Amino acid sequence: MTVKIGLKCSECGDINYTTTKNSKTVTEKIELSKYCARLKKHTVHKEVKLKS
């Protein structure tokens, strides 16, 4: 079962990326280091639910 998720910047609060994940195999929340265009640097992005 795949679900759409957003990746939200932990510093500025923008949702900069969207992706999917298999919620049966990956049960923990995703945290990735991604580029934030507003801050112009790499920051930690955390998983958030998207409105359907």
Number of structural domains the chain divides into: 1
The pLDDT of residue 51: 82
Residue span of the structural domain in which 12 resides: 2-49
Residues making up the chain, counted from first to last? 52
CATH classification at residue 21: 2.20.28.120
Q: What is the CA radius of gyration of the chain?
A: 11
The pLDDT of residue 52: 66
C-alpha 29 chain-centroid distance: 9
Give average pLDDT by consecutive 10-residue segment, the chain, 52 residues. Answer: 94 95 94 96 96 74
